[in-house]
Amino acid sequence: MRSRPALLFLAMSFGLLAALFFRAMLGTHLLAPLDLAPALFKHYAWVQPGHTGVPENHYIIDQLTYDLPLQRQIHAAVQQGQLPWWTPLDLGGRPLLADAHINGFDPLRLLLYRVLPFEAAYNWNLLLHSVLAGLGAFCLLRSLGSRPLIAGLLALTWQFSGPMTLYFGHPWIQSAFVAYPFLWLAWNRLAQGTSWPALAGASLAAAWALLGGNLQSHAYLPLFAGAWLVGTCWKSPSQWRRLLPMIALSGILGATIASPALAVELDLYRQAQRLPAMSFRLIHAGAAPASFTFLFPWALGTFRTVDLSKLFGQSTLGFQLFVGIPAAIAALATILTGFRASRETPANEPSRAATPRIAGLLLLGYLAILATPAVLFLYTRIAPMMTLALVVLAAEFFPRLEREPMPRLGRLLWRGGWGLLVAAVLAGFAILPRLEPKLEAALLRRGAEGTQMDNAPELRRAQARRLAEELSPANPELLLGLASVLALGWYCRRPAEQRQPWQFAAVGILGLLPLVAFHVRFAPSHPRELWDRLLAGGPLQNELRPAGKMGAVRFEDTLAGLHQQVFPNCFSQLYGVQTLHGYAALRPPHLLTTTNGPNLLGGRPLTDAALSDAGKLQRLEAGYSARWIVRHVGVPQTSAIAAVRESWNTLELVLSGHGSGPVEFIWTDTYAPGWRADFNGGPVTLERFKRLFSRATLPSDSGTLRLTYHPAGEGPLRWLAGGTALLCGLTLVFAARRNRSRRPYRLPIRDRARSRVSFSFAVRL
């Protein structure tokens, strides 16, 4: 595959992102939903005084309250040359990197965190993952024989497809799926014949998917491998015998490279509290047929108004598979009419012949997941794999669309497009406005009850008001979508001899525009000054913020509803305050509330401060530390304990007691088996106490206690992973150098011209 088309595509992809997020590239904006804090949280109105209470996008609240604070901690640790295995600042202390939803092992993220300030690294991590996703799809489509124009349009389609936008604030999804086009490409190379460079490339791609994802997305890898093997080997026993061991070996090598991450994730899964799974009801199976609204995803609503997908236990079902209407129609046409080989001779005929089977199996698997209880474990987050399958199927039909007359399809699309336009106008300007009062009352009632939605009355009123606007041509992406249907219908109706290449390109670009418009409306970008105000803190946050040490103050923030809390979810990470609540995908057993904790201090709660129902800060009496307790013969002592140093993996305490002999030291942070302790330079045994805490017997109540955290297999697994990655990388480098040396020598342009003149003169003679 030539490099010039790939470089041109990179320039197009980067240029499009620059047009959309130029201010984020310059650092004046942050790609995070910062307006959610003043809009929804009562203790953060000072971030943007006078805010209307209606955020631009409330769907990505997890990015603000979960991802952003934790990423700032990871960046601070990496800047100091550490990996933040532990955080003391929420849920009473817990493993940090092992909670893989934060995408803390992603190689690109760690590199950017090492060399850039946080705000620049956070923005560029999101942008570069988007570019890599598009580049991978482009390389895959080119390897399957698509022309650069078709490959470029469809690669951008996948880069800005619905799930890549919906999960903008879930970085582990985008990071994991970046690897899948490269993995598909490497496995196709293996299907052509045993190739060590292809095996090395597949192993590195699998490792990237595992390092960038979490335990949920790891399950997507064997599902993808199964679909690829069945689609490629099909009815050929010899292919099964040859390819199954190679695919398994690439997965094993990838898991070896990712083993430092996998080990801590599995260890946390073993320790964690399993929260009850959502129940699966018969109506939830309707998510499978409802997902076919990806042909016209606005039919179920949008993220700015009501979403009828929630009737089936999901959200934004139509946008989960959104690839634009022309690409969606082309993909369905490939499935319905069958695969017909292109007149162009592809570079990889066997792999291309298997491609529709692989893509079809992936789509059937997605429907099976939605229609069964498997959706409770796999979720719709597997959707980027399905949009990649749709893009690959569309690439098979686009050459036929470009050269073959299709008057029946053209008439159907032309009439259907005008019919949808009329229906949207009637719905948006005549029918839906009458439903707004009833919808507003229902949303406010549900918010007040607090059963499924936090109380945010202004947002609920805005959702009701936006219903008619979102489902009418006033919505820019809906209008562009209808325009793409009409343009495709017009193009198909034209005689083949009257079609021009620029017309096909225009239809493809118009099909891409609704995706870009949806991405712009959904992806957050807010002024950097809001972030600076958020970090500066307000009255309550600064009153609790400790001076220089992490977790020096433990705060009980257990009021119901995020809008009432001083530190919603993981916001305590921004201010260095330890809270007993928080948010994590896997929660180890911890002190959820002080009232449920054991009585260790004679009825005194294990906190330093709390917030009263009236919103006043209440500091509890001093004398005993909430986080660490010294007892002599079961009686708490008033030993002075000072945290000299606390980081993500180390805690150093100085005890200044009265020399009363051996004492019992109790540490009321979350117990984890990775912690080790030494007292005055000598090791002491740290054991679990009351299921929640850690305990050690110290020879004296005066001295220095040092606690260090080492996750399972940290040292040996690093060496094993690094050696395997180095071996795979060197294999690719040597293969690239060998390929360059085998290329035929080409004369310089001037010498080539002279040789052509000499040859023509010789022929005449």
pLDDT digits (tens, 9 = 90+) for 458-480: 888 888 999 999 999 999 999 99
pLDDT tier at 279, thresholds 50, 70, 90: confident
pLDDT tier at 102, thresholds 50, 70, 90: confident
First to last CA, the chain: 39
| Nearest C-alpha neighbor of 125 from the set 172, 82, 87 | 172
CB–CB of 488/513 below 8 Å? no
| Nearest C-alpha neighbor of 171 from the set 133, 222, 115, 138 | 133
Mean pLDDT in the chain?
A: 86
Q: What is the pLDDT of residues 555-606, one digit of tens each?
A: 887 666 788 889 999 999 999 898 888 888 888 777 765 444 567 776 677 8
Q: What is the predicted pLDDT for the residue at 446?
A: 74
Q: What percentage of residues in the chain have a pLDDT greater than 90?
A: 55
Q: How many CB atoms lie within 10 A of CB 707?
A: 22
Q: What is the pLDDT of residues 722-738, one digit of tens each?
A: 999 999 999 888 887 77
Angstrom CA distances, 269 to 99, 114, 207, 464, 587, stand at: 9, 28, 20, 41, 9
Query: Is residue 303 pLDDT above 50, yes or no?
Result: yes
Handedness of CA 678, 75, 93, 536 (dihedral sign): positive
Q: What is the predicted pLDDT for the residue at 451?
A: 46
Q: For the residues 113-126, what does the mean pLDDT come to?
A: 96
pTM: 0.91
CB–CB of 135/155 below 8 Å? yes
CB–CB of 393/335 below 8 Å? yes
What is the token pair recorded at 41?
A: 């949280």
**How many Cα atoms sit within 13 Å of 518 on the Cβ side?**
35
Q: What is the predicted pLDDT for the residue at 638?
A: 67
Task: Quote the CA–CA distance of 605 and 626 in Å, as a whole number.
Answer: 8
Q: What is the predicted pLDDT for the residue at 645?
A: 86
Calculated CA dihedral for residues 600, 605, 607, 613, nearest 10 degrees: 170
Q: For the residues 110-130, what does the mean pLDDT come to?
A: 95
Q: What is the predicted pLDDT for the residue at 450?
A: 55
Listed in sequence order, the DSSP H helices in 99-257 are: 107-115, 118-143, 148-159, 162-166, 171-192, 196-212, 215-218, 220-233, 237-257
Query: Is residue 369 pLDDT above 70, yes or no?
Result: yes
Q: For the residues 267-292, what does the mean pLDDT come to?
A: 81
Q: For the residues 168-182, what does the mean pLDDT come to?
A: 92
Task: Quote the CA–CA distance of 623 and 602 in Å, as a whole number.
Answer: 12
Listed in sequence order, the DSSP H helices in 371-472 are: 375-378, 383-403, 407-426, 436-449, 457-470
Q: What is the predicted pLDDT for the residue at 760?
A: 37
| Nearest C-alpha neighbor of 672 from the set 698, 693, 647, 646 | 693
Q: For the residues 235-244, what does the mean pLDDT come to?
A: 91
Q: What is the predicted pLDDT for the residue at 349?
A: 62
CB–CB of 10/131 below 8 Å? yes
| Nearest C-alpha neighbor of 344 from the set 533, 182, 148 | 148
pLDDT tier at 759, thresholds 50, 70, 90: very low
Query: Is residue 754 pLDDT above 60, yes or no?
Result: no
pLDDT tier at 79, thresholds 50, 70, 90: very high
Calculated CA dihedral for residues 432, 435, 437, 439, nearest 10 degrees: -100
What is the token pair recorded at 597?
A: 């904790």
Task: Quote the CA–CA distance of 433 and 421 in Å, as a whole number.
Answer: 17
What is the token pair recorded at 326?
A: 């022309």
Lowest mean pLDDT across 434-438, 494-498, 616-620: 616-620
Q: What is the pLDDT of residues 403-460, one digit of tens each?
A: 888 889 999 999 999 999 999 999 988 999 998 888 888 888 876 665 455 668 888 8
| Nearest C-alpha neighbor of 109 from the set 77, 140, 156, 86 | 77
Task: Quote the CA–CA distance of 576 and 162 in Å, as a whole number.
Answer: 36
Query: Is residue 205 pLDDT above 90, yes or no?
Result: yes
Structural domains of the chain ordered from first start:
404-523 (no CATH), 628-709 (2.60.40)
Q: What is the predicted pLDDT for the residue at 454?
A: 63
pLDDT tier at 119, thresholds 50, 70, 90: very high
Query: Is residue 498 pLDDT above 50, yes or no?
Result: yes
Q: For the residues 225-246, what does the mean pLDDT come to?
A: 92
Q: For the residues 501-526, what does the mean pLDDT come to?
A: 94
Q: What is the predicted pLDDT for the residue at 762?
A: 31
What is the token pair recorded at 431?
A: 């029918």
Question: Which of 112-126, 336-350, 656-670 has the highest average model confidence (pLDDT)?
Answer: 112-126
Task: Quote the CA–CA distance of 54 and 40 in Å, as a whole number.
Answer: 8
The contacts of residue 614 (CB under 8 Å, 6+ apart) are none
Q: What is the predicted pLDDT for the residue at 615?
A: 72
The contacts of residue 29 (CB under 8 Å, 6+ apart) are 21, 23, 123, 525, 526, 527, 528
The contacts of residue 186 (CB under 8 Å, 6+ apart) are 198, 199, 201, 202, 205, 250
Q: What is the pLDDT of residues 641-662, one digit of tens each?
A: 888 888 889 999 988 877 667 8
- Which residue has better confidence, 313 or 751? 313
Q: How many CB atoms lie within 10 A of CB 263?
A: 18
Q: For the residues 83-103, what does the mean pLDDT come to?
A: 89
Query: In DSSP terms, which residues pair with 675 in a beta bridge?
Result: 709
Sheet strands (E) in 458-553: 526-527
Q: What is the predicted pLDDT for the residue at 690?
A: 83
235 class by beta-carbon count within 10 Å (0-12 exposed, 13-18 middle, 19+ buried)? exposed
- Which residue has better confidence, 542 or 601? 542
Q: What is the predicted pLDDT for the residue at 755?
A: 37
